[in-house]
Structure 1
């Protein structure tokens, strides 16, 4: 039995749940630091007399950082390891969030937000790669969608911190609280081992064997020494050009289109959601209340996707949730009364974030170990271009061309349907397949 087979066939036990929670808390802190800026910006607009264009630039600079961070960190993680990059990116975005509280003007905030984005973008693909490489094949989809569900918790935590702390201690305090996750790195370093798959791919077979044996002992599984199976040749170094080789080109094109579509829709819809509700005639306070209600719908969206992704597969579940997002987005744009807006907005949130969980499950499964973090990072980095463009496109549609919200959401529905067709046509089913080198 090879090292890969030993990891893939382990029963799910305490180790896996602790790994999920440990990585999930890092994911939650990612989300919290991302969410804090959304709640701070309305305060800064008044305090610093920022123009709408400057506010948009603050949001976009973080996404630029995320794109660069995802690309570089994913590539570096395939060179020096998942654990080191996961820990270092957590420190970068936490400390940079704290520095945002020391910002003295618009330009300094831009610089610190870029650093925050760099750390956030770098951690997400590496975290999902690490968890995927430890998860047994039959339960991998569920674990990765549940990892993504911590995003909703972090966003709600950001709202809580902002609404309670900012009126009391000022906007700087919210950023200072966002720096606290840096302390979590000490626990993280002790609790999460390096991926044995990564170690084996670098020829460090004895270290990989020791970690796997320790996990098997914890699980109460007794297996004979399999050193002879581990003494395989070291895998080649990952080159970015390999993503466009005949072996991986179809998967790379599929993932880049998938990431662009879902990021474009997410950031376009949810960045503008309070403003679009205001354009529909709702007071700003009511708009935030409605957005919070819709955000709560993300949690059952994640859990339902976690159940289906290992039952019926990645392709059908993802296509279903993308189409569900498209339909609910279209009818949300047509909605005028509160009840319909809340129902369609909640469904839109339910399906969209469920789809996000599947995307994070799907992506690392389409590349072998030596290319997994690099491939995931480049796909995520390319997707962030959609996140940068979407708020700008919506701003032009609403501001310059005076188009109604129905047209805006028709555009999003169209993008989501095209993204679903990309899944149906180019996607490969990975349900239950091992993360082996022949993938």
Structure 2
């Protein structure tokens, strides 16, 4: 028998739900993968600093290690989004974790720079695809009234992973000549976690409905409703209206008249934020070593600076549902610009740590708002594609940023370098003002 409730759109039923333990499981499961991603990206900054000494790498060679990974991320983000819109969020999410987990573990066995560069590229393929797919996945389960906050909470797992990387960098990497190998070995954990993701989390019901698989979508929605203590509908899905399968996602659809302004704003945002973030945070340990701090002390400073990410996410998570996406993102980007200038001109340990913590606070809060705004910019059939291509464009900047750091340091030192980062943050502030405000609105 068909009930009236069966005919209600899947998205409306999802938006009507309160936050349940089932939502928490989805957020936590995705967030753990997110944290493991951050741990991998964070570890490379400490590995670069160690290998620069151990392998006597020139600054340009050291920058190749970071840029190789980001080159893979650019391709992975673009392709991963397309695959997730075609084959589903959960399957692609698990595959990305497996790819970069295995490649990271294999990196522990390399004997030279060439092999490490190849493996870092493969790591990037998985890592680049995972982040936009995970944010899309969680946003499609989140009720509209709390969607932005939940995505910021998801992004906050980045701070957990980066803090783990800082601890490993501080305790493991300097411990022996093979410390960096043990750090990479720990990065293989995602390969095991991929199996848990594959079988433990449901597929996105919004995606299923967009592909005409309403019966499967309704089963998942009913499970969430039951977890909320609501009356579960009968298991039969007979008579559930099926929508026509969505057409295969096309990149050119992102530049249709209705979407081109949003896409342009997002691509500028992702490019500028990636350039400044990865240019700064991948190189901070190496820059501190170059300024005369020993390896252990430099890593200790980086650990303290990293801890400021957590309150940054917490404040952004609160403001994003109070001020909205645009205002929160613009405010944190402006704070990042000011903090970048302060860090570049800081002298003395206290000033370096304080300015670094401010940069960490504002920059990661901005990341939380950006990840919240990106998936909800596009309709369901294009959501992962749009998020993936925005991230892919950003990864182009993350390739260029590590390569740009050595010559900028050579010309004007840290002051010039961080003024350049501040300028990119300022451009991002302007781009943020062109985003469409989606606070409290249902996903299309």
**TM-score, length basis structure 2:** 0.93
Deviation at 1:78, TM superposition (A): 0.5
Deviation at 1:31, TM superposition (A): 1.1
Match in the other structure for 1:187: 196
Give the one of 270, 277, 283 matched to 1:259.
Answer: 270
Worse-superposed segment, 318-327 or 32-41: 32-41
Match in the other structure for 2:317: 306
Deviation at 1:427, TM superposition (A): 1.2
Match in the other structure for 2:377: 366
Match in the other structure for 1:429: 437
Give the one of 337, 346, 351 matched to 2:348.
Answer: 337
Deviation at 1:282, TM superposition (A): 4.0
For residues 133 and 290 of structure 1, the distance between their equivalents in structure 2, rounded to whole angstroms, comes to 38
> Contact 2:82/2:388 (CA < 8 Å) preserved in 1?
yes
Deviation at 1:284, TM superposition (A): 4.2
Question: Which SS does the other structure have where 1:434 is aligned?
Answer: coil
Match in the other structure for 1:293: 304
For residues 287 and 182 of structure 2, the distance between their equivalents in structure 1, rounded to whole angstroms, comes to 29
Worse-superposed segment, 337-346 or 213-222: 337-346
Give the one of 394, 416, 422 matched to 1:413.
Answer: 422
Q: 1:309 to 1:230 in 2, by over 3 A?
A: farther
For residues 88 and 51 of structure 1, the distance between their equivalents in structure 2, rounded to whole angstroms, comes to 35
Q: Which runs of 5+ in 2 are unaligned?
A: 1-7
> Contact 1:91/1:185 (CA < 8 Å) preserved in 2?
yes
Deviation at 1:66, TM superposition (A): 0.4
For residues 75 and 233 of structure 2, the distance between their equivalents in structure 1, rounded to whole angstroms, comes to 44
Question: Which SS does the other structure have where 2:231 is aligned?
Answer: coil
For residues 283 and 181 of structure 1, the distance between their equivalents in structure 2, rounded to whole angstroms, comes to 31
Match in the other structure for 2:17: 10
> Contact 1:280/1:336 (CA < 8 Å) preserved in 2?
no
> Contact 1:209/1:227 (CA < 8 Å) preserved in 2?
no
For residues 401 and 35 of structure 2, the distance between their equivalents in structure 1, rounded to whole angstroms, comes to 24
Worse-superposed segment, 264-273 or 355-364: 264-273
> Contact 1:3/1:229 (CA < 8 Å) preserved in 2?
no
For residues 286 and 171 of structure 2, the distance between their equivalents in structure 1, rounded to whole angstroms, comes to 22
For residues 302 and 326 of structure 1, the distance between their equivalents in structure 2, rounded to whole angstroms, comes to 17
Deviation at 1:294, TM superposition (A): 1.1
Question: Which SS does the other structure have where 1:435 is aligned?
Answer: coil
Deviation at 1:255, TM superposition (A): 0.5
Q: 1:282 to 1:46 in 2, by over 3 A?
A: closer
Give the one of 196, 201, 205 matched to 2:214.
Answer: 205
Give the one of 331, 335, 349 matched to 1:320.
Answer: 331
> Contact 1:3/1:230 (CA < 8 Å) preserved in 2?
no
Give the one of 82, 85, 90 matched to 2:89.
Answer: 82
Q: Residue deviations 1:394-417, cap 9 Å, x none?
A: 221222xx2142222222212111
**TM-score, length basis structure 1:** 0.94
Deviation at 1:301, TM superposition (A): 0.3
Aligned length: 433
Deviation at 1:245, TM superposition (A): 1.0
For residues 137 and 311 of structure 1, the distance between their equivalents in structure 2, rounded to whole angstroms, comes to 14
Q: Residue deviations 1:277-327, cap 9 Å, x none?
A: 345554444332222211100010011101111121001000000001111
For residues 331 and 177 of structure 1, the distance between their equivalents in structure 2, rounded to whole angstroms, comes to 34
Match in the other structure for 2:4: none
- 1:375-390 matches, cutoff 5 A: 375-390=386-401
Question: Which SS does the other structure have where 1:257 is aligned?
Answer: helix
Give the one of 238, 245, 249 matched to 1:238.
Answer: 249
Root-mean-square deviation (Å): 1.8
For residues 334 and 238 of structure 2, the distance between their equivalents in structure 1, rounded to whole angstroms, comes to 47
Q: Which runs of 5+ in 1 are unaligned?
A: none
For residues 23 and 277 of structure 2, the distance between their equivalents in structure 1, rounded to whole angstroms, comes to 30
Worse-superposed segment, 149-158 or 77-86: 149-158
Match in the other structure for 1:160: 167
> Contact 2:211/2:243 (CA < 8 Å) preserved in 1?
no
Q: 1:341 to 1:171 in 2, by over 3 A?
A: closer
> Contact 1:196/1:212 (CA < 8 Å) preserved in 2?
yes
For residues 183 and 224 of structure 1, the distance between their equivalents in structure 2, rounded to whole angstroms, comes to 36
For residues 347 and 27 of structure 2, the distance between their equivalents in structure 1, rounded to whole angstroms, comes to 41
Question: Which SS does the other structure have where 1:235 is aligned?
Answer: coil
